[in-house]
Amino acid sequence: MDKSIEAIWKEGFLNEKSLVAPKINDLYNQKSIHLVDRMLRMFRINLIVILITAIVFPVIYYFLDALWQGLTASVLLLLTAWYNKRQIDRIKTLDQGSTSLDYLRSLDQWLRDILSKSEKIARFSYPLYLLIAISTIWSVWDKQGLTLKIHQKFPNLTVIGNIPLFLLIVAGIIVLLMFIFSAKIYKWEVRLMYGRVFGKLKETIAEMEKLKQ
């Protein structure tokens, strides 16, 4: 063999097009697996974060001297985690169909259902979280003697259960606003967290549908 390695290479690949690429039978199945795995991983991480927050909240609130509010927030978070876990488990019952496209379609439908349900839940849970936050702030201020100062400065102020009426009205308006905008906030949150992967799902379905045609 006297030829240089460059010559061997050039001659060997004179007709590069004659190289036969192995058949890719499973590329789209692999893509689907990758996508679903990624989505599930994100859901699980989200679930873990909720659980950690549910544990940490009462501790923080304890030091803020607002343990009850902390426990309420924790219970709410635990309920959210329980609901999310149930939804994630439902993935296993999804229609596997005969192809990965069928599976991705049912996954997409499942996501739509979850988002629509979670949006309804968010309408009530978000104002509740806000109410807890307002209550905590008030509780901390109250312990610092703010209520007493308000009473001394405005002795004629209407008070309900030691809380000035105007403060209750302000809190009520804030909670109402939260109730109105909670769906939008939820959608924004979901877009921020999962937007990319949801977009990929739609893109893959579109790509596979095109291929099927």
Partner 1 sequence: MKTATNQENERCYEETNRTKTNKVSTDFYQLSILPFAGIIIKICRAYTNSQEDFEDYYQEVCLQIWRSRDNFCQQCEWSTWVYRISINVCLTLLKRKKKDGKTYFTSDALPDVMLIENNAFEDESLNLLYAAIRHLSEVDRALILLYLDEKSYQEIADVLNTNANNIGVRVNRIKERLKKILHG
Interacting residue ranges for partner 1, rule: CB under 8 A? 1, 3, 5-6, 8-9, 11-13, 16-19, 21-22, 24, 26-27, 30-31, 34, 203, 206-207, 209-211
Kindly tell me which of 37 and 113 has the beta carbon lying closer to partner 1: 37
- Is 50 or 105 the residue whose CB approaches partner 1 more closely? 105
Which helix (H) or strand (E) segment holds residue 163: the answer is: strand 163-164
Residue type, 21: A
DSSP characters over 29-45? HHHHHHHHHHHHHHHHH
Cβ of residue 121: shortest distance to partner 1, in angstroms? 32
Q: Which is nearer to partner 1, 87 or 99 (CB)?
A: 99
Q: In sequence order, what are the residues at sequence separation of 6 or more whose Cβ sits closer than 8 angstroms to the Cβ of residue 183?
A: 119, 122, 123
Q: Which is nearer to partner 1, 39 or 178 (CB)?
A: 39
Assign 1 to helix, strand or coil.
coil
Rounded to a whole number of angstroms, the minimum distance from the CB of residue 197 to partner 1 is 12
Smallest distance, Å, CB 43 to partner 1?
Answer: 20
For the bound state, the minimum distance from the C-beta of residue 18 to partner 1, rounded and expressed in Å, comes to 8
Cα dihedral sign, 57-62-68-69: negative
Residue 159 φ then ψ, to 5°: -125, 135
Least distance CB 117 / partner 1 (angstroms): 29
Q: Which is nearer to partner 1, 26 or 65 (CB)?
A: 26
Report the alpha-carbon distance of residue 39 to residue 165 in Å, rounded: 47
